[in-house]
Chain A
Amino acid sequence: AQKITQTQPGMFVQEKEAVTLDCTYDTSDPSYGLFWYKQPSSGEMIFLIYQGSYDQQNATEGRYSLNFQKARKSANLVISASQLGDSAMYFCAMRGTTSGTYKYIFGTGTRLKVLA
């Protein structure tokens, strides 16, 4: 069975500093995709970044980067130069192929608070 684990229920970071949000996953699928979403207090889910299991390089999108370590089955989100607007809930998600072709499964989330 596929599983996403986010072990940090909450985190604090000082404005302008970098922060890493942890995500580990479990799958037996040979090919899969990993996603990160942000959910501000307003409730909408905002897609941040995607990493494919066969991608050679770590994904980056602006201040977001994904530290993908395939052998360790981890896909940590790194936010550089944190801003107050980064305070939100962050979810790691995965979509597989053979065992869950269309299914996207999510972790329990990490609530990030950026301090001024």
Chain B
Amino acid sequence: DVKVTQSSRYLVKRTGEKVFLECVQDMDHENMFWYRQDPGLGLRLIYFSYDVKMKEKGDIPEGYSVSREKKERFSLILESASTNQTSMYLCASSFGLAFRELFFGEGSRLTVL
């Protein structure tokens, strides 16, 4: 069964802490994405990557960075967490350039106190 796995379902961090959210996919997908989901705002794209070591800013990259050292792994980094980064974070992957569906992880709910 194909899978996108996010390392933590629930995290509680303090303001100013560095936070790592990890995502691994086993489908050999080229493209990987990080979204945040907030009520009434839908899913907003933070960063995406279409190849190892490649990254592109999405619509709301401020306060975030990403790392993709291996094809199967895409990490989202909050250098200094703030309360307005409390949210649900969804990782997704897709295959190549074709119009193929996104496969999502289960999500990581981050609370910043």
Contacts and interface: CB of A to CB of B under 8 A. Distances in A.
Contact of B41 (A45, A95, A104, A108): A108
Contacts, number: 57
Interface of A: 4, 6, 9, 32-33, 35, 37, 43-45, 47, 50, 52, 91, 93, 95, 101-109
Given A95-B99, A108-B41, A45 B48 contact: no
B41 to A, nearest CB: 6
Given A35-B101, A104-B33, A91 B58 contact: no
A104 B102 contact: yes
A103 B90 contact: no
Contact of B97 (A32, A93, A101, A103): A101
Contacts of A37: 102
A50 B97 contact: no
A104 B45 contact: yes
Given A43-B106, A47-B101, A103-B48, A91 B31 contact: no
A49 to B, nearest CB: 9
B26 interface: no
A108 B33 contact: no
Nearest to B109: A43
B42 A109 contact: yes
Contacts of B94: 102, 104
B106 A108 contact: no
Contacts of B107: 43-44
B106 A44 contact: yes
Contacts of B48: 102-103
B42 A91 contact: yes
B88 A103 contact: no
Contacts of A106: 35, 42-44
5 contacts: A43-B88, A47-B102, A105-B59, A106-B43, A107-B42
Given A44-B104, A45-B104, A50-B101, 20 more contacts: A4-B42, A9-B40, A35-B101, A35-B102, A44-B106, A44-B107, A45-B102, A47-B101, A50-B99, A93-B43, A102-B56, A103-B48, A104-B33, A105-B59, A106-B35, A106-B42, A106-B43, A108-B41, A108-B42, A109-B42
